Amino acid sequence: MIKIRNLFKSFGSLQVLKGINLDVAAGETLVLVGASGSGKSVFLRSVLGLSPPDSGSVMIDGLEVTKLSEKEKLSKLSNTGMLFQASALFDSLTIGENVGIYLKEHTDKSEEEIKELVHDALKRVGLNDVEDKMPSELSGGMKKRASLARLIVYRPQYLFYDEPTTGLDPMTGSMINELIVQIQNDLKATSIVVTHDPTTTLYVSDKIALIENGQILYVEETDKFMQISHPTVDFFNKITGHDYKNMMRKKNG
């Protein structure tokens, strides 16, 4: 599971995270919402140690991430992955090379094995015959899916998504939402999804947390969260035509 305690992060005099506490149970998908500039991206980067927090504790799978050296992060966080808001594909590598880069650099799998895993991951996200293409030849939605393939190719157990549907057309967006859920079921992963997209929030979440003034103001199961009296929830209700249940994914079991 993921356990975050008293996480603080400032940039100069700007205090962004002011004591974040959050738990995500194994196999659960938590969606983090909050106003633009409220610190959602900073939070994700702090959790993964990409932008180390000033103080506080981040436990992922029983591992205290804030105490890991750069080298340890690479080896010990191999079950953890993040989908960045910008696709962050390497422009000079083909899509196949992009998706396979982690396996090539951090595992001893053969070229043939990697080729097959890359092909499977791309197929998983609905991309066929793009291995030899360059990122510049792909549309925004295809790039996002290729980034998703790069994330799932090594089957991480902890997944972090920063605004996975931002900038995509609604149809591509809903395809990404569906993929997030499929990947979740496939990998039985534990995930945090940061988004301001009501559709994504309602569809992928088991729980929703709201960040405000550098703290987690609420964290509730999706249905319960939608009953809270707060401008963000009001907005979500308005956007969904007060029919949010219709936008929640049907959960089996």
Footprint of ligand ADP (CB under 6 A): 11, 14, 16, 34, 36-42
Q: Which is nearer to Mg ion, 85 or 240 (CB)?
A: 85
**Residue 56: which of 18, 93, 87, 23 has the closest Cα?**
18
CB 135 within 8 A of CB 90: yes
Please choose which of Mg ion, ligand ADP, none residue 11 contacts, taking the beta carbon within 5 to 8 angstroms, the exact cut-off set by kind: ligand ADP
Residue 193 Cβ vs ligand ADP, minimum distance, rounded to whole Å: 13
Edge-to-edge order in the sheet of strand 158-162: 80-83, 158-162, 190-194, 29-33, 207-212, 215-221
Give dist(CA 106, CA 165) in Å, integer: 29
Please choose which of Mg ion, ligand ADP, none residue 42 contacts, taking the beta carbon within 5 to 8 angstroms, the exact cut-off set by kind: ligand ADP
Residue 250 Cβ vs ligand ADP, minimum distance, rounded to whole Å: 30
Give the N- to C-terminal CA distance of the chain in Å, as an integer: 21
Q: Which is nearer to ligand ADP, 42 or 142 (CB)?
A: 42
51 near Mg ion (CB under 5 A): no
166 near Mg ion (CB under 5 A): no
Q: Which is nearer to ligand ADP, 38 or 191 (CB)?
A: 38
Please choose which of Mg ion, ligand ADP, none residue 13 contacts, taking the beta carbon within 5 to 8 angstroms, the exact cut-off set by kind: none
Choose, by CB under 5 A, the member of 41, 78, 79, 199 that binds Mg ion: 41
The β-bridge partners of 190 are: 158
Phi-psi region of 26 (alpha: psi -120 to 50; beta: other; left: phi over 0): beta
Interacting residues with Mg ion (CB under 5 A): 40-41
